Chains A and B, each alone.
Chain A
Amino acid sequence: MDEIKEKLPYDVVEIILSRLPSKSLLRFKSVCKSWNATISGERFAGVHLRQSRQSSGNQDIFFWCEVPRFTDYSQVMVTKIPQHIRSKMKLEQLEHEQKLDPRVLCYCDGLALLRYGKLLYNQYGKLLNNHYVLCNLSAGTHVEFYCPYDEISYSWHKRVYGICYDPSINDYKVIIIDYERYAIYYCRAMQWSEIRETRDEFLGGGLFIGKSVSLNGDLYFMLKTVEDRGYGIKIVGRCQMIKVGGGEKEEELMWVDLNGRPPNSEQVECDMASNIQEYVNVLAFDRIYCIKTGYQQIPYLENLFISEPKRKGGKKIITSC
């Protein structure tokens, strides 16, 4: 064979790159300028996301758990951020200072939302529980932000969270919902929506519990409803979330009842206990669902999200304090 091979054409190189995990991609930005440009491009991030979704696998497993008798204690468990990623993201330091609660509030496409665990008070001595850390697992970066809405912030024990992708504006959204209201944080724009009322005809007075799970842009929640024999559990999904109109934004949460079972999931027996985080006493849970997300690798989201946590740019993070 000749010593110099012909170069692989650009489109073939891109197909190969789309199969690589984020860590390799970020390293290979150093190969040459054109690879850097390709890997940094927004189009490539989209290709990689689609590729990650197509590959079948079950790297990310979520558990929906329900404590039978302790109705206030029911929750959805979402995977913790693995240790090696935590150290890479320097989250350990925050944890060490007991600032960060290591539990993931919600997760989507490699974005994870965590909350500051340290109690902060404002000048009137009121507890502020509105400080969040949004982690981009693929780029190994995180940003901190505040929820500016006191109404939601103070009812922290009633809140649930979700992250989902909105292709119409090419942005990820963090949704914070309490019983009556919700607000949305646009990750890329780094802005909050206005606070809005939840339409309650579907929810029928039920309460959200625990955490949401995000799959292919949809969010799934558990909903506690009042039934004859005390409380029942519904699992509801959000479909066609948030339509964004031309000038005036019209946002709406729509709910569908999934008959108690999330799609693409299987109910698992308690022998899956070894896979569940150690602090969950699995025997206390009535039902456990394992959801296969279909991701083989964490999608490469560097450019769909803030890649440099320290970069301030012209954008301002809205704070409430």
Chain B
Amino acid sequence: MAAETGTPTTLTLKSNDDELFSVAESAAILSVTIRNMVEDGCAGGVIPLDNVDGKTLASVITYMNGISAIPADEEKKKSYRDKFLSDKDFETLADMVLAANYLNMSCLMDAVSAKIAQVMEKKSVGWVRRKFGIENDYTPEEEAAVKEEHKWTFEGVETDDDN
């Protein structure tokens, strides 16, 4: 580690669409995946992240920099996370949860999955199928039976606006 020299170590990350990003090592090791690479000494050149596209990686790096700039104050970190995720749509959140999972970033994973759950909470079954790319494999009779069993849970569901 180069903390003594005064110049912070910078890592270069490469997305799966070949964009390159520079990020301070101290911020990047929020990702356990990257930290392991650094500790194993294989983070010298470019670190390829095959499961993350450029747009998502840029966003993740913004988060890494933002959150690591906040001192150990859980309240402030939480409000940063809330603000960071507040304007993200479902597709972006889905990309981020995949990236957080792949990069093994537990704090981002927690925040994004909670945010997705918050977005989904009042949505219809049809909305969830579309957004998660799930095919309905029930027969109409089966589906009616499952719905009937938990009828009350269909009260107060938002009308789909696909946002």
Contacts and interface: CB of A to CB of B under 8 A. Distances in A.
Interface string A15-49: 11101110110111111111110000000000000
A19 B132 contact: no
B47 interface: no
Contacts of B98: 8-9, 12
Contacts, number: 83
A1 interface: yes
Contacts of A15: 109, 113
B146 A29 contact: yes
A4 interface: yes
B138 A33 contact: yes
B122 interface: yes
A299 interface: no
Interface stretch (B21-29, B59-67, B150-158): B150-158
Nearest to B93: A16
- Most central of B114, B136, B157 by chain A CB within 10 Å: B114
Interface string A213-252: 0000000000000000000000000000000000000000
A232 B42 CA distance: 67
Contacts of A256: none
Contacts of B143: 30
A12 B132 contact: no
Interface in B100-144: 101, 109, 113-114, 116-118, 120-122, 125, 128-129, 132-138, 143
A12 B101 contact: yes
Contacts of A126: none
Contacts of B136: 31-32
A273 interface: no
A64 B98 CA distance: 45
Contacts of B121: 20-21, 24
Contacts of A4: 133
Interface residues of A, number: 31
A4 B152 CA distance: 32
Interface residues of B, number: 33
Given A8-B132, A9-B98, A15-B113, 12 more contacts: A16-B97, A19-B113, A20-B121, A23-B152, A24-B117, A24-B153, A26-B153, A29-B150, A30-B150, A32-B137, A33-B138, A140-B152
A27 B157 contact: yes
12 contacts: A7-B132, A7-B134, A8-B97, A12-B98, A13-B132, A19-B114, A23-B152, A24-B117, A24-B122, A30-B138, A33-B138, A34-B137
A27 to B, nearest CB: 4
Nearest to B121: A24
Given A12-B101, A140-B152, A28 B128 contact: yes
A13 B109 CA distance: 12
A32 B116 CA distance: 19
A21 B137 CA distance: 24
A13 B114 CA distance: 12
